[in-house]
Amino acid sequence: MGAAILDRARAWLAQDPDEQTRTELAALIERVEAGDEDAADDLADRFDGRLQFGTAGLRGALGAGSNRMNRVLVAQAAAGFAEFLRTRDPEATPTVVVGYDGRRNSDVFARDSAELFAGAGLRAILLPRRLPTPVLAFAVRHFGADAGVMVTASHNPPNDNGYKVYLGGSDAGSQIVAPSDADIAASIRRVADEQSVSDLPRSTAYEIADEAVIEAYVSATAAVGPAPEGAAGTRWVYTAMHGVGWETFSRVLEEAGYPQPTVVPEQIEPDGTFPTVAFPNPEEPGAMDLAFATAAASGAEFVLAQDPDADRLAVAIPAESGWRRLTGNEVGLLLGRRAARAAAGTPDASLACSLVSSPGLGAIAEKYGLGFHETLTGFKWISRAPGLVFGFEEALGYLVNPETVRDKDGISASIAFLELAAEARGRGATIADLLDELTAEIGFYASGQVSLRVEDVSTIATIMASLRAEPPAAFGETAVERADDLLQDPARLGGDVLRYALADGSRVIARPSGTEPKLKAYLDVRGESAEDSAARLVALEQAVRELLDRLS
């Protein structure tokens, strides 16, 4: 290992205000100096590069180093972001709202950020306690703020944390997009290269938001779907997945008039160690097992699960053998149909979804006379669709209330879904019946996903390069009619996405995950019947798995 890495590590150690990461890094440097090769590899991994802004700002594992989440990196990010905001309008005093969830160090990173924003001359408002990400997104608009920062890693593994950035003004409280992301990254890099964190000005003259902003969010969200008559007596189960959703969600439920659920007691309180799940993501196998057991014991009609920062929603319903979690596409299409019915006849109203989500939303928009937009993945793009009344992406994210929250929101989506379930219940129907009704309207769509989790993220780039060098001619026995590389398509803004249109009307889309070390392949088919579409999907999944196994 070069001396440059050791020099970077020593310089980092000198400015680190955190005793835990100082101790961790000092011990690692000492081992390297003693000739420990494993320690040298570890140090190189920590300092050979920096965490960069991606789909959700900064996100990575906690630990010492420029390639980890820690107080030095967060301080540099806050100071760089402050510089970016000041240069946008040198005559103004920007306002920034800061929120945080229940993960390890979220509160520390949030307070550091508030102090650094205040020290840089900004008006900084810190939310009063750990709260869901949608509350922060709402607060940016509620306060008319120039920006917002949410300290969260959402549904990532327990040792991760992150720094999610929103912009107000003309961005209307949406997440950052180009060119702002690159400009912020450049400002952060200037701070990191030119200043020690210990020399950055700090101030405790930041504001603590009062309960009024939370009450305003609760009221606005309850208004998304007040309980209809069929809600009375509903038996359902809820899990917060060890996150921060329950306190706020329970207040919304009460104001909207829904019966309280049976909660999963082991997962209802915030706990950053996530003791009952390997990954606190309701998409992951086993993550909802406790919820299913609670539902079976209580005779529940359905299960709702929010991820740890409550910006995503998972739904499960009874099946012949246990419980079936609905796909994000199924929930998205049900909520999209709900929104389309409400917006039918509204000039310029539109639905939007990411390009990897079900094309069924376009069919819904066409049926109800609405516009339709297909965007790059991420709600920073979906939220900017013109005339948006509803947007979703298949990874359990739904934007149902764009006038108040310009991001995915698992709490407002839960209220919208409860309204659907209650209305169906009032006429003697179930959620499964709603899915059948949807199919009768738009046809037999089926979607699936094949994910390849890797230890070394360079494996993903290698696979994508192989697919570009030798595009597959077929998946199984079905020929590829067209292959699109979105890096070469200016209209798609250069997304690292490969899309294949198949001869039978199916499609396969491959892209790296923006938040996890995964390569994801999204599959969509449309068949002549439920059985036909299911069979087509199974065959396509097998073909995609065989291809990825061969390339990896």
**Any idea which residues carry the catalytic annotation?**
154
Q: Which of 246, 247, 248 is nearest to 237 (CA)?
A: 246
Residues paired with 474 in a beta bridge: 479
| Residue 69 per-residue DSSP state | B
What is the rounded distance in angstroms from the CA atom of residue 22 to the CA atom of residue 9? Answer: 10
Output the six-digit token pair for 10. 């020593």
How many CB atoms within 10 Å of residue 506?
A: 22
- Is residue 323 a contact partner of residue 303, using CB atoms and an 8 Å limit? yes
What is the rounded distance in angstroms from the CA atom of residue 3 to the CA atom of residue 514? Answer: 32
Distances (CA, A) of 442 to 221, 359, 427, 488, 500: 29, 10, 22, 32, 23
Pairing of strands 388-393, 397-399: antiparallel
Q: Which of 507, 513, 519 is nearest to 551 (CA)?
A: 519
Distances (CA, A) of 105 to 62, 73, 89, 164: 9, 13, 32, 15
Element (H, E) at 11: helix 3-15
Longest dimension (CA), the chain: 74
What is the rounded distance in angstroms from the CA atom of residue 516 to the CA atom of residue 328? Answer: 18
How many CB atoms within 10 Å of residue 273?
A: 11
What is the rounded distance in angstroms from the CA atom of residue 479 to the CA atom of residue 500? Answer: 10
Residue 277 dihedral angles phi and psi, to the nearest 5° = -135, 145
The three-class DSSP label of residue 285 is coil
CA atoms within a 13 Å half-sphere pointing along the CA-CB vector of 533: 17
Q: Which of 369, 352, 488, 386 is nearest to 361 (CA)?
A: 352
How many CB atoms within 10 Å of residue 307?
A: 29
Indicate the Cα dihedral angle 261, 290, 308, 355, nearest 10°. -100
Instruction: Give just the sign of the alpha carbon dihedral 170, 174, 177, 182.
Output: positive
Residues paired with 450 in a beta bridge: 521
- Is residue 289 a contact partner of residue 282, using CB atoms and an 8 Å limit? no
Burial profile 158-170: b = 16 or more Cβ within 10 angstroms, e = fewer: bbbbbbbbbbbee
